[in-house]
Chains A and B, each alone.
Chain A
Amino acid sequence: MAQVKEYVGKVKPDWCPGCGDFAVLNALQRALAELDIAPHNVQIVSGIGCSSNLPGFIHAYGFHGLHGRALPVATGAKLGNHALTVIATGGDGDGYGIGVGHFIHTCRRNVDMTYIVMDNQIYGLTTGQASPTTEKDIRTKSTPEGTIETALNPIALALSSGATYVARGFSGDNLHLAQLMKGAIEHKGFALVDVFSPCVTYNKHNTYPWFRERVYKLEDERHDPSDFRLAIEKAFEWGARIPLGLFYKVERPTYEDQEPALRNGKPLVKQSLEQPDLASIMEDFI
Chain B
Amino acid sequence: MVDYVFRVGGEGGEGVISTGELLTLALARAGFEIYTFRTYPAEIKGGHANYQVRASDHLLLSQGAAVDVLIAFNEEAYQKHIQDVHPGGVLIYDSDSFSVASTEAVISYGIPLTSIATQQVGVRLTKNIVVLGVLSQFFDIPAQRFESLLKERFGRKGQSVVEKNLQAFHAGLEVAKTQTKRDTIHLGEGSRKIKELVLSGNESLALGAIAAGCRIYAGYPITPATDIMEFLAKELPKVGGVVVQTEDEISAIGVVLGASFAGKKAMTATSGPGFSLMTEMMGLAVAAEIPAVIVDVQRVGPSTGMPTKTEQGDLYLAVYGGHGNCPRIVMGLTSVEDCFYGIMRAFNLSEQFQMPVVVLSDQYLGHRKATVPAPDPSRVPIVERRRPTAEELKNYKRYHLTADFVSPMSVPGTEGGGYIAEGLEHDEIGYPAASNHENHLQMTQKRYGKFHRVEQIANDLVRIYGQEHPEIGIISWGSSEGVVREAVQMALDRGYSVGAFHPKILYPQPLAKLKEFINGTKAIIIPEVNYTGQFATLLRKRFAYDFIQLNKCVGLPFTPKEIFDKVEEVARNVDSRSRAYAAKL
Contacts and interface: CB of A to CB of B under 8 A. Distances in A.
A200 to B, nearest CB: 23
B203 A285 contact: yes
Contact of B420 (A56, A73, A84): A56
Given A268-B264, A282-B207, A84 B412 contact: yes
Interface stretch (B60-68, B192-200, B513-521): B192-200
Nearest to A53: B432
B413 A269 contact: yes
B256 interface: yes
Interface string A68-81: 01011111111111
Contact of B262 (A43, A56, A276, A277): A43
Interface in A107-158: none
B418 A40 contact: yes
A2 interface: no
A76 B258 contact: yes
Contacts of B255: 72-73, 75-76, 79
A40 B416 contact: yes
A162 B556 CA distance: 45
Nearest to B420: A62
B211 interface: yes
B247 A84 contact: no
Contacts of B423: 48, 64-66
B280 A66 contact: yes
A38 B258 CA distance: 20
Contact of A84 (B235, B244, B413): B413
Contacts of A282: 197, 207, 374-375
Contacts of B248: 101
A63 B237 CA distance: 28
B349 interface: no
A65 B421 contact: yes
A69 B237 contact: no
Contacts of B218: 72, 76
Contact of A278 (B377, B418, B431): B377
Interface in A7-62: 10-11, 38-41, 43, 45, 48, 53, 55-56, 59-62
B447 interface: no
Interface in B261-278: 261-264, 266
B415 interface: yes
Interface in B357-396: 374-375, 377-378, 382, 384
B238 interface: yes
Residue of A38, A260, A268 with highest tally of chain B CB at under 10 A: A268
Residue of A84, A269, A280, A281 with highest tally of chain B CB at under 10 A: A281
B237 A84 contact: no
Contact of B418 (A45, A60, A75): A60
A75 B412 contact: no
Contact of A80 (B237, B247, B258): B258
Nearest to A111: B244
B266 A80 contact: yes
Interface string B209-248: 0110101101000000000000000011111111010111
Contacts of A41: 412-413
B262 A40 contact: no
A276 B258 CA distance: 24
Contacts of A69: 250-251, 254, 281
B197 A286 contact: yes
Interface string A263-286: 001001101010111111110011
Interface in B52-85: none
A45 B262 contact: no
A147 B371 CA distance: 63
A83 interface: yes
Interface residues of A, number: 57
A261 B418 CA distance: 27
Contacts of B417: 40, 61
B421 A276 contact: no
A38 B414 CA distance: 10
A279 B238 CA distance: 12
Contact of B244 (A45, A74, A75, A104): A75
Given A273-B382, A281-B235, A66 B284 contact: yes
Contacts, number: 200
B411 A269 contact: yes
A279 B256 CA distance: 27
Interface in A68-102: 69, 71-81, 83-84, 101-102
Given A79-B216, A282-B207, A269 B419 contact: no
B242 A261 contact: yes
Residue of B213, B235, B423 with highest tally of chain A CB at under 10 A: B423
A247 B422 CA distance: 34
B418 A76 contact: no
A169 B193 CA distance: 70
B258 A40 contact: no
A40 B413 contact: yes
A53 B434 CA distance: 13
Contacts of B254: 65-66, 69, 71-73, 75-76, 102
A81 B262 contact: yes
A279 B242 CA distance: 20
A224 interface: no
Contacts of A75: 244, 251, 254-255, 258
B284 A286 contact: no
Nearest to B237: A260
A105 interface: yes
Given A56-B431, A269-B262, A276 B424 contact: no
Nearest to A47: B423
A268 B417 CA distance: 19
B433 to A, nearest CB: 11
B419 A278 contact: no
Contact of A102 (B251, B263, B377, B431): B251
Residue of A40, A48, A78 with highest tally of chain B CB at under 10 A: A40
Contacts of A276: 210, 238-240
B205 interface: no
A81 B258 CA distance: 10
Contact of B264 (A60, A81, A83): A81
Nearest to B285: A65
A259 interface: yes
B215 A271 contact: yes
A268 B241 contact: yes
A215 interface: no
Nearest to A70: B254
B16 interface: no
Given A56-B431, A84-B412, A269-B411, 6 more contacts: A61-B417, A65-B254, A76-B261, A80-B259, A81-B263, A261-B240
11 contacts: A61-B412, A69-B251, A72-B251, A72-B255, A74-B258, A76-B266, A268-B240, A273-B384, A275-B211, A275-B377, A285-B199
Interface of A: 10-11, 38-41, 43, 45, 48, 53, 55-56, 59-66, 69, 71-81, 83-84, 101-102, 104-105, 259-262, 265, 268-269, 271, 273, 275-282, 285-286
